[in-house]
Amino acid sequence: MTKAYQWMVLLISVTMFANFLFTASLGVYKTIHAFSIFWKGGIQAKPGLEIIESLDLFLVALVFLILALGFMKLFYPDFSFLKKINLSWLVIQDFYQLKQLTWNAILLTLLITFCTQVLKSNGVLDWPMLIIPGAVFLFSVSSKLLKH
């Protein structure tokens, strides 16, 4: 039974890594598109909005990468490739550390998503737009409570 779980974790990690690659590729595409907008229309064409959207995609990609590497580090600690990855912010020894790191990355992603929607709205803010800041607030409070 243990082998089945290990294969399942490996499949999940590979799938999340594929999601990371796909989302990062979309972020690169959005960035190139922003530069083409800038070259064609200048600052008046608002290329900054595309750049912020690409930042949002890169942050979502980072969440996928953190989860993929985190699961691999937890379930396959002797994997030779993972021993070469020694990032100070990616030290994961249990699920709590993985959850905290993922939680903070999702918080930042939600904040950038809200800023993008505010910029897209051109100053007209509707009530449904308060869902994202409410989610950021709830994530922040629960993250603070988990630390104590």
Q: For residue 72, name the pLDDT band (cuts at 50, 70, 90).
A: confident
CB 80 within 8 A of CB 11: no
| Global pTM value | 0.80
25: phi > 0 → left, psi -120 to 50 → alpha, else beta; which? alpha
Which of the residue ranges 112-116, 134-138, 142-146 would you say has the lowest mean pLDDT? 142-146
- In angstroms, rounded to a whole number, what is the distance separating the alpha carbons of residues 68 and 51? 25
Mean pLDDT taken over the chain: 84
As a whole number, mean pLDDT of residues 2-21 equals 90
Instruction: Name residues whose C-beta falls within 8 Å of residue 134's C-beta, 6 or more positions apart in sequence.
Output: none
For the cut 90, the answer to whether the pLDDT of residue 64 exceeds it is yes
Mapped onto helix, strand or coil, the DSSP state of residue 122 is: coil
Most confident option among 35-49, 55-69, 81-95: 55-69
